[in-house]
Amino acid sequence: MTLATRQAILSLLSRFHFSPCTRSVALCVGLALGALVQPAAWCADTLRNALVRSQIPVAGRKSDDLNRKITNYATLDEPQVFVIGYYLEDGSGVLGETLYVDLYRKGEGVWLTRRFERNTAGGAEGHPAFGGSVVRISRCAESFLLETHVNPSAAYTLVLDKDLAYRDSIYGWPLAAFRKGVVVYQNSEIHFAPTHYVEVSAYDVGTRKKWLIYPRQPYQPVRQAQIEKVRAAYAKRGTEWFKTHNHHGNPEWFDTFLQGEVAANEAMHSLVFRIGFDNTDTWDYAEKLKFVNFGGLARRLADFDVSKAPPNDIFSVLGQGLLAVKSMNLQDAFLEEFTADPETQAMLRQALASSEAPQPGWQKHFVDLDARWARPAIWRKIQATLATPPATTEVICVFRNVDQERDFEYREMLLDEFQKQFGDRLLSEYLEPEELNKIFSP
């Protein structure tokens, strides 16, 4: 499949509505087969009903407009203005090429309506002007930002001025906005890529300039250390592995993900967020096997007093993990982890040999197989063997003066070290002037 065909399918898929649990599956199927199955339309409603629910007056709107069915819409309701972005529902289950945006100025009682075509000139870096469902509408200074869905890893944000005139499209989704007219957004990613790494940029709605604020070279020590760890792991795989797995092999593009809220401070043009560095890509096969199938058990045992026999739910987690290992024919690889402990290895081998999930409970099943399963000592040995290194390195990033393309500052530190030095508090509290001065002091 050519890149152009792949992009066309992704664009078309973005115009369907899928529930979160089926969206990724639908994208995979569409890209694999190059074919689309038409789902039911989502949230079909009349424009009248959508406005009435938001307590917006409908006087002055034509009946034909109000009675039109709309779908995949979002609203912004502020003291002075109300904005709704939507598509017309035509019963096909596919979003059209036209996006409608209505603005109501409450003080004047005046409506303004615009329509935008997907192929509007000047889209983000040559992309369409917008994607599919309108996910969210927000403000930055006098501009309106309409975030539209593309896939779980991407969005287009339509930038409109105060009169709904088209300004630009951002290939990403807003994280924070400052009244001065700067939007901080997370860059969209290629969904079907070997790794997914967070990039955060700033965008000036007045000048339409964009600049990357994270990650920024030269890399700070925390990120550089992770790069070197990934580089060492990649070196062990050899070049053929990367060719076979269609992997870029660039240690700088390791998996990262935002964690929780993004806090901003208007006065200081500052920003803070937590980010996770994924460590599992540096693990060997045995560690990944333990984490995927028995990570839940290891965490449960870590919270349990293994000086006594565990309850049924812990037996159940072990049993389900053994069934998963068996279903993938990974029994030998799993048992090899217990080579230094022949007693536990033999007991696990016997448990793996039992076929279906037992009734009435896992605890009875295991103890009936071997009475030693009731001994705390066995579970302590399992706990030690199944332990894996931390799956994620927790990092915090603080920015100051993000509205200055060349003069902004940022600090990236391990979360636990940061909290030891500056306290464990709400993210927004780190953005007070005195705290920022401490964080950025030499």
Q: Does any domain span residue 146?
A: yes
Structure tokens at 105: 């100025």
Query: Token pair of 376, please?
Result: 């705390």
In a 3-state reduction of DSSP, which class is residue 180?
A: coil
Percent of the chain with pLDDT over 90: 64
Say whether pLDDT at 391 is over 70.
yes
The answer on pLDDT for 4 being more than 50 is no
Give the mean pLDDT of 92-118: 92
175 and 107 belong to one structural domain: yes
Chain centroid, CA 18 distance in Å: 17
Same-domain pairing of 252 and 319: no
Same domain membership, residue 261 and residue 121: no
The verdict on residue 3 lying in a domain is no
Return the pLDDT at 16: 39
The answer as to whether 276 is a domain residue is yes
Distance of alpha carbon 187 from alpha carbon 413, whole angstroms: 22
Q: State the total domains in the chain.
A: 3
Alpha helices, DSSP H, located in 14-162:
20-33, 47-53, 63-66
Mean residue pLDDT of the chain comes to 86
Residues 313 and 278 in one domain: no
Among residues 207, 238, 253, the one where a domain terminates is: 207
Q: Which segment of 293-302, 375-384, 392-401, 412-421 scores lowest on mean pLDDT?
A: 293-302
Same domain, 242 and 124: no
Domain edge (last residue) among 345, 363, 386: 386
What is the spatial distance between Cα 147 and Cα 138, in angstroms, rounded to a whole number?
Answer: 8
Where is mean pLDDT largest: 10-14, 152-156, 167-171, 397-401? 397-401
- H helices, E strands: number in the chain: 14, 17
- Please give the pLDDT value at position 123: 54
CA 268 to chain centre: 27
Assess whether pLDDT exceeds 70 at residue 80.
yes
37 pLDDT higher than 70: no
pLDDT value of residue 358: 66
**What pLDDT, in 10s, does the model give residues 319-373?**
988 888 888 888 898 899 899 999 999 999 999 988 676 667 889 999 999 999 9
Assigned domain for 78 exists: yes
Q: What is the pLDDT of residues 173-199, one digit of tens each?
A: 999 999 989 999 999 999 899 999 999
Q: Are 98 and 117 in contact (CB under 8 A)?
A: yes
pLDDT of amino acid 143: 96
Please compute the mean of the pLDDT values over residues 418-438 and round it to a whole number: 96
Instruction: Tell whether 177 and 265 lie within a shared domain.
Output: no
Of residues 435 and 284, more confidently modeled: 435
264 found inside a domain: yes
Q: 13: which 2 tokens?
A: 């898929």
DSSP 30: H
Is the domain of 92 the same as that of 178?
yes
Of 80, 85, 138, 77, nearest in space to 108 by CA? 80
pTM (two decimals): 0.81
Average pLDDT of 26-52? 55
The token pair that represents 174 in the structure block: 């807003």
Question: What DSSP assignment string belongs to 310-360?
Answer: --HHHHHHHHHHHHHHHHTT-HHHHHHTTTT-HHHHHHHHHHHHS-SPPSS
Residue 171 in any domain: the answer is yes
In a domain, 172, yes or no: yes
> What SS3 class is residue 421?
helix
Ranking 40-49, 231-240, 264-273 by mean pLDDT, the lowest is 40-49
- The strands making up 45-46's β-sheet, listed across from edge to edge, are 45-46, 69-77, 81-88, 98-105, 110-117
Q: What is the pLDDT of residue 169?
A: 92
Give the tokens for residue 297. 């058990």
For the chain, the C-alpha Rg in angstroms (whole number) is 27
Q: How confident is the model at residue 286 (pLDDT cuts 50, 70, 90)?
A: confident
Q: Is the pLDDT of residue 9 over 50?
A: no
Q: Are 427 and 374 part of one and the same domain?
A: no
Cα separation of 215 and 200, whole Å? 7
Whether pLDDT at 432 is above 70: yes
The more confidently predicted of residues 322 and 399 is: 399
426 with 277, same domain? yes
Scanning the structure block, which residue is given the tokens 């869905």? 149
Domain with 244 in it? 221-283+390-439
Given the DSSP bridges, would you call strands 270-278 and 392-400 parallel, antiparallel or unpaired?
antiparallel
Residue 258 or 126, more confident: 258
Q: Is the pLDDT of residue 302 over 90?
A: no
Greater pLDDT, 211 or 31: 211
pLDDT at 320: 87
Q: Give the DSSP letter string of 142-161.
A: TEEEEEEEEETTEEEEEEE-
Residue at 6 is within a domain: no
Higher pLDDT among residues 292 and 198, named by residue: 198
Q: Do 429 and 342 belong together in one domain?
A: no
| Tokens linked to 168 | 């630009």
Q: Which of 207, 241, 266 is the last residue of a domain?
A: 207
99 vs 97: CA distance, rounded Å: 7
Q: What are phi and psi of 377, to 5 degrees?
A: -60, -35
Same domain, residue pair 345 and 424: no
CA dihedral defined by 412, 413, 419, 420, rounded to 10 degrees?
-140
**In angstroms, rounded to a whole number, what is the distance separating the alpha carbons of residues 274 and 406?**
23
Asked whether the CA dihedral 334, 337, 339, 344 is positive or negative, the reply is: negative
298 vs 438: CA distance, rounded Å: 39
**Cα–Cα distance for residue pair 224/216, rounded to 1 Å:** 11
- Both 314 and 191 in one domain: the answer is no
